[in-house]
């Protein structure tokens, strides 16, 4: 029962986590419907690990086929559930699609856990559940604020569903990981973040601007009540983040949980402004970035960064990579992916 089912495993964080799991000797099976990722990601994973993970192209909203995966791989012992829609702005325009995908996928997985006696579950949550926090840095005990988007609401609802699902299932064990802002790529540059269309997130927008794919970066506001006026976030390296998932799985498999439902903030503990990210990127790449300050973006919080001490102490996990190496990894990935696309024509 050493196999880990990774839903959304060809996506950005999922693919990096699959690599970390395989390097630790776990067997993996990925479920992904490729709605926001590409099958070639499996080549990148194989290039790093020397082995191709098992892959099932299934939509988790298709209950029958989701159950078939559990039948096909009876050694599944735990699940990491990444698969979800995640674009904040899009969720405002298509709320029902977001509720339908993010919530039904979770419910069918929980039903499959019941049916196939799988008890260990790791959930991808987000710091968005804290909204605009009252105190910084944010601990896991900070109050949950009303979600500012349907996407954020799906994360809150999913965490509630998970807690309720535990009550009649005393064998279930669940860890919810609340990510701050994951950035960067694998140091090999064989996998990374590949946004479809115009990126919503800061770092892919920066690297695409630097490589000439976008004219300029629009910086959303410099009139915040922060030291330099720019918005502040906690940017966490995606490989560091992925390592925490392996530790969470080991914690579940070894019955080391303090409670049946545990929550951990995954961040560096350091808040950085948009300007600091731009300046660091320029310094390490030697590229001048074209950017312009525009109005604040609707729904953005002023500042949020983690108190990661609970994860540091309880999981024995710590974000290790520097901002410089993380931004360089994002830049190497951008250059690799563009040369690949250009070569393809
Ligand atoms: P991603 O879009 O790169 O990966 C998600 C994967 O899930 C994609 O490959 C997509 O094709 C797949 N998928 C979506 N719906 C599916 C379905 N119904 N059936 C099967 N596969 C489906 O996103 P990511 O950045 O890797 O995020 C992974 C998880 O982490 C998500 O749950 C996201 O909400 C959460 N999260 C991400 C961030 C971030 O900034 N990237 C921050 C906090 C939380
Ligand atoms: C958001 C969500 C988070 C979600 C994540 C993944 C909120 C509060 N946070 O993070 O839950 O998991 O997206 O999609 O909803 N910025 C610019 N110009 C740009 C892009 C971003 O200035 O072109 C600024 C933003 O204003 C912000 C920072 O960069 O200050 C980070 O933005 P982004 O990368 O989009 O992440 P969040 O909005 O923090």
User: What pLDDT, on the 0 to 100 scale, is given for residue 341?
Assistant: 74
pLDDT in tens, 278-334: 999 999 999 999 999 999 998 899 999 999 999 999 999 999 999 999 999 999 999
Quote the tokens at residue 233. Answer: 């976030």
DSSP state of 215: S
Measure the CA–CA gap between 227 and 230, rounded to whole angstroms.
Answer: 8
pLDDT in tens, 136-162: 999 999 999 899 899 999 999 999 999
pLDDT in tens, 54-75: 999 999 999 999 999 999 999 9
User: What pLDDT, on the 0 to 100 scale, is given for residue 299?
Assistant: 85
Ligand 2 atom closest to the Cα of residue 149 is: 15
Q: What is the mean pLDDT of residues 106-111?
A: 98
For residue 87, report the distance from its CA to the centre of ligand 1, in Å.
9
Q: What is the pTM of this model?
A: 0.97
Q: Ligand 2 pocket check: which of 274, 276, 293, 305 to mutate, most ligand atoms within 8 Å of Cβ? A: 274
Whether residue 345 is predicted with pLDDT greater than 70 in this model: the reply is no
Give the pLDDT band (50/70/90) at residue 2.
confident
Q: Answer whether 91 contacts ligand 1 (Cβ < 6 A).
A: no
User: What pLDDT, on the 0 to 100 scale, is given for residue 197?
Assistant: 87
Measure the CA–CA gap between 9 and 141, rounded to whole angstroms.
Answer: 29
User: What pLDDT, on the 0 to 100 scale, is given for residue 73?
Assistant: 98
Q: Ligand 1 pocket check: which of 6, 13, 65 to mutate, most ligand atoms within 8 Å of Cβ? A: 13
Instruction: Report yes or no: 235 and 277 within 8 Å, Cβ to Cβ.
Output: yes
pLDDT in tens, 214-255: 999 999 999 999 999 999 999 999 999 999 999 999 999 999
For residue 87, report the distance from its CA to the centre of ligand 2, in Å.
10
Give the pLDDT band (50/70/90) at residue 133.
very high
Alpha carbon 206 to chain centroid, angstroms:
19
Q: Ligand 1 pocket check: which of 82, 90, 177 to mutate, most ligand atoms within 8 Å of Cβ? A: 82
Ligand 1 atom closest to the Cα of residue 35 is: 11
**Which of these is catalytic: 98, 151, 235, 305?**
151
Q: Answer whether 204 contacts ligand 1 (Cβ < 6 A).
A: no
- Of 24, 29, 22, the closest CA to residue 7 belongs to 29
- Is 151 one of the annotated active-site residues of the chain? yes
Please, what is the average pLDDT of the chain? 96
Whether residue 344 is predicted with pLDDT greater than 80 in this model: the reply is no
Instruction: Report yes or no: 263 and 314 within 8 Å, Cβ to Cβ.
Output: no
User: What pLDDT, on the 0 to 100 scale, is given for residue 195?
Assistant: 83
Give the pLDDT band (50/70/90) at residue 196.
confident
- How much of the chain exceeds pLDDT 70, in percent? 99
Measure the CA–CA gap between 130 and 145, rounded to whole angstroms.
Answer: 5
Enumerate residues lining ligand 2, CB below 6 A: 86, 88, 126, 128, 149, 152, 181, 200-202, 205, 217-220, 231, 233, 274, 297, 299-301
Q: What is the mean pLDDT of residues 93-107?
A: 98
For residue 276, report the distance from its CA to the centre of ligand 2, in Å.
15
User: What pLDDT, on the 0 to 100 scale, is given for residue 38?
Assistant: 95
User: What pLDDT, on the 0 to 100 scale, is given for residue 179?
Assistant: 98
User: What pLDDT, on the 0 to 100 scale, is given for residue 1?
Assistant: 61
């Amino acid at each position: 029962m050493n196999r880990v089912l990774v839903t959304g495993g060809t996506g950005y964080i999922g693919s990096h986590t699959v690599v970390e799991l395989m390097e630790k000797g776990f067997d993996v099976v990925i479920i992904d419907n490729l709605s926001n990722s590409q099958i070639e990601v499996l080549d990148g994973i194989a290039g790093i690990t020397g082995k191709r993970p098992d892959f099932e192209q299934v939509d988790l909203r298709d209950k029958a086929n989701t159950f078939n995966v559990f039948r096909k791989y009876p050694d599944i012992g735990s699940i990491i559930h990444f698969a979800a829609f995640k674009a904040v702005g899009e969720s405002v325009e298509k709320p029902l699609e977001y509720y339908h995908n993010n919530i039904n996928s979770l419910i069918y997985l929980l039903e499959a856990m019941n049916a196939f006696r799988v008890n260990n579950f790791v959930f991808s949550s987000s710091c968005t559940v804290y909204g605009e926090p009252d105190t910084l840095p944010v601990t896991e005990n900070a109050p949950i604020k009303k979600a500012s988007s349907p996407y954020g609401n799906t994360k809150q609802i999913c965490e509630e569903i998970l807690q309720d699902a535990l009550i009649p299932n005393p064998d279930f064990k669940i860890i919810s990981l609340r990510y701050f802002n994951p950035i960067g790529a694998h140091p090999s540059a064989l996998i990374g973040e590949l946004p479809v269309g115009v990126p919503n997130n800061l770092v892919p927008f920066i690297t695409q601007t630097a490589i000439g794919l976008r004219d300029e970066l629009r910086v959303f506001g410099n009139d915040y009540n922060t030291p330099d006026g720019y918005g502040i976030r906690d940017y966490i390296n995606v490989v560091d983040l992925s390592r925490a998932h392996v530790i969470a799985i080991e914690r579940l498999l070894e019955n080391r949980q303090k409670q049946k439902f545990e929550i951990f903030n995954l961040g560096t503990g350091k808040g950085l402004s948009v300007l600091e990210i731009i300046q660091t990127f320029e310094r390490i790449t030697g590229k001048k970035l074209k950017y312009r300050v525009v109005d604040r973006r609707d729904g953005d919080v002023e500042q949020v960064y983690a108190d990661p001490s609970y994860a540091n102490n309880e999981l024995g996990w710590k974000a290790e990579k520097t901002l410089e190496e993380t931004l360089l990894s994002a830049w190497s990935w951008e250059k690799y992916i563009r040369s690949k696309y250009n070569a393809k024509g």
